[in-house]
Amino acid sequence: MKETTKNVIGSIIKRLIGPIIICALILVAVLYIVSVKDQNAEEAAIAPYSYEGGEDTVVIENDKLKMEMDPATTQFTITVKETGKVWRSNPENAANDTIALPEEKANLQSPLIMSYAVTTGLETTYNTHSYSTSNQIYNITQEGDSIRVDYSLGDVIKEYIIPPVITKDGLDTWLDKMDKESVNFIQQYYKKYDINKLGKKDEGNKDELLANYPLMADNVIYVLRDTTKENVRKKMEKSFEEVGYTYDDYLADKANDLSSKNSDKPIFNVSMVYKLDGNDLVVEVPMSDMQYHKDTPIYTVTPLPYFGAGAQDEQGFMLVPEGGGATINFNNGKVSQSSYYTNVYGWDMCLSRDAVVHNTRAYYGVFGVSEGENSFICILEEGSPYASIQADISGKNNTYNYVNAVYSVCQREQYDVGDIANSDVFEYVPSLPDETLTRRYSFINSGSYVDMAKEYGSYLEDKYGDSLTMNTDENAPVAIEIVGAIDKVRQILGMPIKRPLKLTTYKEAADIVKDLSDNGVSNMSVKLTGWCNGGVDQKLLKKAKPIMALGSKKDIKNLVKVGEETGSKVYLNGITQYANESNLLDGFFSYRDAAKLISKEQAKLYDYSHITYAQRENSDHLYYLLHTKMAMAIADNFAKTCSNYNAGVSFQDMGEDISSDFYRKNMQSRQSVKAQQEEEFKKIQSEGTPIMINMGNDFAVPYASMVTGMDLRGSEYTILDQCIPFYQLAVHGRVDYTGKSINIGGNQEDELLYSAEYGAGLHFTFMKETSFATQKTLYTEYYGANYDSWKDKAIEMYTRYNKELGHTFNQEMVDHENITEDLSRTAYADGTNVYVNYGYSDAQTPDGQTVPARDYLVIR
């Protein structure tokens, strides 16, 4: 019986050993996680800076510029020595602005403005005037030819040089030196503590008082009341200063105060570094030096928001990167219009958005100000992918005209918690990259936007060297996009299946190229779109697979050969950053290959409705943003594939789109992706493969042989006063570029006239099939692309364009002016002038020649 009982107990124990061990392991894991969480729960306090410098102006200078900073405000001036022109970091009379509210006046006096956000998405703005320099929680360090300003920004109590805690004898010593009025004033703001004569309330807090003020054990003490206001403290400080109370005395008395007075209000540390580089001022904001608590991340920073701001009594304009460029005149009176705003390089596709009404984008990060006979341009360098450029005129929030760039620092993602919370919930990036937000102010002894553009052109030449030299074109460049296949839903065994629909075979594409050449069209860059992996809506491009319905690899090689025989270059187009309609059979596993949002979800993308502007989540068109590493590998492999065909490589997306990847194990910032794209372009160019890109972001253009679809005019917002070819003035003759496709664009006449004014080549899109082939598909944009219908008109258009303008494409664009609202003039190095008339009636040039309505006139 005993043996049986023993066996039963042993059996029970054996069965329990496993669960007990598992429970023990879980308990250990939980305790470890809790322990680690507790260790990290308390973030290190952010120590505010303290100004320890003097009152002397801080000066750095070289043979071109002189910078003088007021140490009390950190505002500064830049003097251009050649002309004596003085540029100010902030308006001189900002404090007396007649229409600005107090907060706006403080902004006007701040060399830096930042905002922070909380988990609900609520943003709060801090400026250095109210939240840093006024409280002297900053520091200035001069190191050689640079000045570093370390700002602490927060709603903190300023330290005043008065005793926070002092013995009765010590206080009496100082009061004996003061007049009776000062003594009576000061005594009412101190509370007396005697360990032997405590009141009932204080008796109950005796231990806490002794812990806070150990001096109290042996002395009668006085403690400054917490409720003492700043104006009172300031008056007391003056009284103590007059009787010899020093900062050392203050530190000694402060050491006796062990009470905790930490504020729960957030504080932030942000640094700015100023350097003079020849005729340029370089401004840096190191992201690694930004300090904030994780619950209140820095959302945006705006360095020098009002540098060069123009007053109401000044004449000038602001330059903004809308399309090829645009100007906003000082005091133009358009106070009812929205301010100007654009995202540099467009939207980061790894950041979700609920709706899209209008996409803003600039393909180069430059803005500027012109005042009289002087101007500057600001070139955004490292950190430009985080920037948005904004501008506004006087008469709205203040009396100044200004343009600046604001950086998005801590990106965020909104969670959908509508079922459990009434407010929005946001998650922010866990850390910042070790990068520096860098911008360069170049000063120009001219108020002309042409000279501003030439300064930018010189900058690009110096930076990119042999990658941006003058070309040898003798004819007008023309981009010919040929569409191979699109997808169309067909019924197969009763199931709706997407299948490639032939629009142009490889052989037909070769025939089109030869036919155009035989009819006098030269200097062609031929882009073959929709030639592989399912067509225009191309699937994952791990391997480029030609579409059988279009022909064979041999036919592709023959197309490339025909291109060579006609003096043209054929480019094979591909999508490298996205996976459209792809699955495991295409080599795509979304969990592994898709980029990650901040919320750790896959970067799943949808089209947006033109009616509701919201995501079309029920749409058949779903695509993913790829991990950066995978996208770069695909781009590299695709370039090699094109090279094997002896063709150029055309990137549909790279060079236009830049997107982050918030995959926690290998996070890629937008700046990092920009750098990787530039390195890939540089590598492909060095291997001898010609590159074609869309739109043409500034860092990609130097490596491209052809840029198609460049946004020449942008969106003509009402606040703008002139559209100008600023970017084209800088690069013309060094790279071939075109505007939008003429025959499938919105307005054929406008596209031609834009090309003539902006020095662009022509761009056409063709297919061999008739427009009926695109019916019942999602590709109605190709409705006007039939080659046979457009052939004669395209040849006529190109023949005239090339005859009159072909000689200008190896020259610099040297001048431009908008003579009237409808008439413009573009000039080239050899003296050629191109007049473009956008009006619906004839116009006269200044020398009396007629420019027909909706046409251009070339005078050599």
370-416: pLDDT as tens digits = 999 999 999 999 999 999 999 999 999 999 999 999 999 999 998 76
CA distance 43 to 214: 28
75-107: pLDDT as tens digits = 999 999 999 999 999 999 999 999 999 999 999
Average pLDDT, integer, range 338-363: 93
Instruction: Output the CA torsion 831→832→836→842 (10° steps).
Output: 90
pLDDT at 421 over 70: no
90 and 244 Cβ atoms separated by less than 8 Å? no
Q: What is the CA radius of gyration of the chain?
A: 34
Q: Is the dihedral of CA 381, 386, 387, 388 positive or negative?
A: positive
Q: Which residues contact 150 (CB under 8 A, 6 or more apart)?
A: 49, 138, 139, 140, 141, 269, 271, 289
Q: Which residues contact 325 (CB under 8 A, 6 or more apart)?
A: 319, 449, 453, 723, 724, 725, 726, 727
pLDDT at 30 over 50: no
pLDDT at 766: 98
Containing 15, the helix (H) or strand (E) segment is helix 2-41
CA distance 801 to 21: 83
pLDDT at 298 over 50: yes
CA distance 746 to 783: 12
705 and 690 Cβ atoms separated by less than 8 Å? yes
pLDDT at 41: 43
CA distance 462 to 381: 14
Confidence of residue 33 (pLDDT cuts 50, 70, 90): very low
pLDDT at 417: 61
Average pLDDT, integer, range 826-844: 98
**Range with lowest mean pLDDT among 227-241, 537-551, 629-643:** 227-241
Highest mean predicted confidence (pLDDT) among 235-249, 424-438, 597-611, 830-844: 830-844
Confidence of residue 616 (pLDDT cuts 50, 70, 90): confident
DSSP 3-state helix, strand, coil percentages of the chain (rounded to 5)?
Answer: 30, 30, 40
* CB-side neighbour CA atoms (13 Å) of 250: 13
Higher pLDDT, 305 or 29: 305
pLDDT at 32 over 80: no
**Range with lowest mean pLDDT among 19-28, 457-466, 552-561, 753-762:** 19-28
CA distance 599 to 340: 31
In the β-sheet with 436-444, what is the strand arrangement from edge to edge?
138-143, 146-154, 267-277, 280-286, 436-444, 374-380, 366-371, 316-320, 326-329, 722-723
CA distance 465 to 703: 11
Q: Which tokens go with 300? A: 């945006």
Q: Confirm whether pTM is higher than 0.75.
A: yes
pLDDT at 354: 82
Q: Which residues contact 420 (CB under 8 A, 6 or more apart)?
A: none
Per the DSSP assignment, residues forming a β-bridge with 485 are 502
Strand bridging mode 524-529 / 478-483: parallel
CA distance 273 to 787: 57
**Range with lowest mean pLDDT among 524-533, 540-549, 600-609:** 600-609
Q: CA–CA distance from 378 to each of 108, 308, 344, 455, 493 (Å)?
A: 19, 11, 13, 11, 62
pLDDT at 108: 98
pLDDT at 799: 98
| Amino acid letter, 748 | Q
**Range with lowest mean pLDDT among 429-433, 488-492, 829-833:** 488-492
Higher pLDDT, 359 or 757: 757
pLDDT at 422: 60
CA distance 591 to 575: 20
State the average pLDDT for the chain.
92
pLDDT at 611: 82
pLDDT at 740 over 80: yes
Confidence of residue 6 (pLDDT cuts 50, 70, 90): very low
Per the DSSP assignment, residues forming a β-bridge with 380 are 439
Q: Which tokens go with 306? A: 């009002």
Higher pLDDT, 696 or 608: 696
157-170: pLDDT as tens digits = 667 899 999 999 99
Token pair 């592989």 in the structure block, residue: 532
CA distance 455 to 446: 11
State the burial class of residue 847 (Cβ atoms within 10 Å of its Cβ: 0-12, 13-18, 19+). Answer: exposed
Q: Where are the alpha helices (DSSP H) in 146-273?
A: 168-175, 180-187, 200-204, 206-212, 230-242, 247-254
765 and 481 Cβ atoms separated by less than 8 Å? yes
685-725: pLDDT as tens digits = 999 999 999 999 999 999 999 999 999 999 989 999 999 99
Average pLDDT, integer, range 293-302: 96
Token pair 């109290």 in the structure block, residue: 216
**Range with lowest mean pLDDT among 45-49, 79-83, 273-277:** 45-49
* CB-side neighbour CA atoms (13 Å) of 182: 19
273 and 148 Cβ atoms separated by less than 8 Å? yes
214 and 256 Cβ atoms separated by less than 8 Å? yes
pLDDT at 360: 93
Q: Which tokens go with 205? A: 């807090």
pLDDT at 7: 46
CA distance 219 to 166: 9
CA distance 48 to 46: 6
382 and 435 Cβ atoms separated by less than 8 Å? yes
Q: Which tokens go with 220? A: 């009668």
| Amino acid letter, 430 | P
**The total number of residues written for the chain in this structure:** 860
Confidence of residue 261 (pLDDT cuts 50, 70, 90): low
